[in-house]
Structure 1
């Protein structure tokens, strides 16, 4: 039986693991592990997650470091991390792809050999660490990949428009499907697949004629990669024409239906301050990154909506795989308490929510760091259970804050409830 089938609510944490190692004029590479000194402090970092009672840790692999050259594999640092997982008993949920591809892979996701390369990498990881790592997220937030790399021209390979979006979505989906099949071949029934996407919502003047088509397209696009990998794109899908205009053929669509994979758990990332975008009458919203829409804080209303929507759409248990607010300690504790209560309420109503993840374990740095020359402290996002504090000599201390105590209280309560139920059975 997988952990997701035991009827409990499992508490998790995550370590921010965005990797965009490619640079160009005006853009420096970003590696959150380097920025947060996780490479040097991984052993203590995993201990912090254990100390606050987390059962699961969403943790990503720096593929570009593991594969520094074609055909060359360097697992030395990852070996140490996996050994630390064994020592702590903390269960990793492996983020195989959190945006970054190897530096030698020309065209990144648009490279015709991308699916084969990402599949080989995933299979090698599963074969090497299958004794400790059995839970996998093949691609974190593929909708964000497709938008940033394929529509907005914001991240490599800097494609834009409908054709770019379709091309990246299809490539990601092919790699996703092949990756899941490869891991399943390595691990068999031991493997658990936690698909994860961003819970993006659109509100406001969404039904007025000037916005109706854009909103419909954006809503469908939110689910596009998951629809592809689960075999849900046919001639009636609202974006099938967009895919075909981007070079996706009927043969490709048949392949997806014939090789469809399913999530054991459908993960949804939801940030109350940023996951709901607002359309306004009289304002052009073309969907491009240069024309961002304002956000609306929809709190637990939005959280309930995205978790219920994904549970119904994909017929799988759901997990809140990222949530937090960037703000003061009191604001973070307030959202922690409110969101945990909302998850418990959904479970009581019969929605199969199996996990809750606060993201991240410790603070992180805003992605805009990539586009400036400013020092990292100017991009600090106060999000974590532990503050990142400059030590004056280039390092970072982890300082526990009251959010950690609040999270630990929730994990203790959940363990107590689970123990009480077990004692009555």
Structure 2
């Protein structure tokens, strides 16, 4: 294995925002009492294809890893290909109702015009297992990875990428629409642009065209999905960037707002306390990802932001979690269980204030390959890829915590977060300083 590089995060997001930017109110109650979510609430877990599956076919990301620039070599990640049945059973035993996976284009279509029947059978089996276990699949069509042959054609630089992408995704939709999944077209489109910048697949000048092409692809496949299943629920989840959400994600929102059945929101970090800069995981600058500031109340502001933009549509937290360094205790002492309970408290506060949040996925069920490194650990079940050849799934403290939360519909009415709300400027300015939330007396 090559020498491992320290995993870092992108700090200012100036390049992405500058490349992409184009020129109803929820009032919080300080005395809001949280009540349990009902049986209709969709508790879930999330994963992605490339990050978990192993045995990766040639793609833009295998090429980047092979160049030596990524950090850790990939091997077979946590080998979901051979562990999917037991992983799905782990999720079912938590009591979750939704299991999010990715459908890898590079696996399905190894060459132009050629689809791999065995790859489709693999996903057939995974989805059937999810359904048989009493869960609803959430299918991500594109989680930042595309075939090597598409990279040879220029990737998202190439206007024909849209039709190449659609040719594969139409087959996926037509095959799995009858399974009634929740659909995610593109995972975190602005961050996708950021990763393409990071690996050198596009330049900053080419970023707006990539966004235009993703928007075109999203809108077209949205219509395809609805022809196959008129009542389908489709989104493109947005990686919320505290302190810079409008600059980073609004350009994509503006392009696809009429083709979103629900608003998928991913939330992880607050702004950096020293500088107030916005942060997002994915590049080689700034603090390590497990050192980034975590303010769980920020998820309330993220949901409020999108409830104001889309008062007529439900919101779903498609990803949320907390990184540790190689599974070690965090320097700030925050445990995965504390983070989970505190986050769920703020989800319940959002619901109490009239925000229509309908689901929550924990990222992730297991540790995986975090875009260049195995050092960041996000899993409810930890997996030590570097030292454990069996890739055993070891439960963290949060496994039983999540099971209890799901069984109870949330945290109790008298629960108070482990960490009270921070000064508003440290969370998500200006959102967090506009009608600031607090704890009940």
| Equivalent residue number for residue 187 of structure 1 | 229
Q: Separation in 1 of the partners of 2:228 and 2:72?
A: 32
Shift of 1:201: 1.5
| Equivalent residue number for residue 29 of structure 2 | none
Shift of 1:87: 2.0
| Equivalent residue number for residue 13 of structure 1 | 45
2:144 pairs with 79, 99, 108, which one? 99
1:66 aligns with 2:108: yes
Task: Report the CA distance shift for 1:337/1:37 in structure 2 as closer, same or farther (over 3 A).
Answer: same
Q: Separation in 1 of the partners of 2:185 and 2:87?
A: 23
| Equivalent residue number for residue 205 of structure 1 | none
1:331 aligns with 2:335: yes
Structure 1 unaligned segments of length 5 or more: list them: 1-5, 203-214, 231-259, 370-378, 418-425
Shift of 1:397: 0.8
Query: Which secondary structure state, in structure 1, belongs to the residue aligned with residue 178 of structure 2?
Result: coil
Shift of 1:47: 0.9
Query: Which secondary structure state, in structure 1, belongs to the residue aligned with residue 142 of structure 2?
Result: coil
Shift of 1:28: 6.2
The Cα RMSD (Å) is: 3.1
How high is the TM-score relative to the length of structure 1?
A: 0.74
1:35 pairs with 63, 71, 77, which one? 77
| Equivalent residue number for residue 311 of structure 1 | 307
1:354 aligns with 2:386: no
| Equivalent residue number for residue 206 of structure 1 | none
Contact 2:178 2:229 in 1 (8 A): no
Name which of structure 1's ranges 128-137 and 389-398 shifts more when overlaid on structure 2: 389-398
1:142 aligns with 2:165: no
Contact 2:367 2:381 in 1 (8 A): yes
1:9-408 counterparts in 2 under 5 A? 9-18=41-50, 20-23=61-64, 25-27=67-69, 34-74=76-116, 75-105=120-150, 106-149=153-196, 153-155=197-199, 157=201, 159-161=202-204, 163-189=205-231, 191-202=232-243, 219-230=246-257, 260-261=258-259, 263-272=260-269, 275-277=270-272, 280=275, 292=286, 297=293, 299-315=295-311, 316-327=313-324, 328=329, 331-369=335-373, 379-389=374-384, 394-408=389-403
Shift of 1:368: 2.7
Q: Separation in 1 of the partners of 2:139 and 2:393?
A: 23
Task: Report the CA distance shift for 1:7/1:390 in structure 2 as closer, same or farther (over 3 A).
Answer: closer
Shift of 1:8: 3.5
Count of residue correspondences: 347
Name which of structure 1's ranges 111-120 and 390-399 shifts more when overlaid on structure 2: 390-399
Contact 1:7 1:354 in 2 (8 A): no
Contact 2:77 2:385 in 1 (8 A): no
Shift of 1:357: 1.4
Name which of structure 1's ranges 404-413 and 167-176 shifts more when overlaid on structure 2: 167-176
Q: Separation in 2 of the partners of 1:104 and 1:168?
A: 18
How high is the TM-score relative to the length of structure 2?
A: 0.71
Contact 1:114 1:175 in 2 (8 A): no
Q: Separation in 2 of the partners of 1:188 and 1:414?
A: 30
Deviations 1:240-282 (A, max 9, x none): xxxxxxxxxxxxxxxxxxxx41x2221111113xx5356849x
Q: Separation in 2 of the partners of 1:320 and 1:173?
A: 21
Structure with greater contact order relative to length (CA < 8 Å, sep ≥ 6): 2
Query: Which secondary structure state, in structure 2, belongs to the residue aligned with residue 201 of structure 1?
Result: coil
Shift of 1:393: 7.0
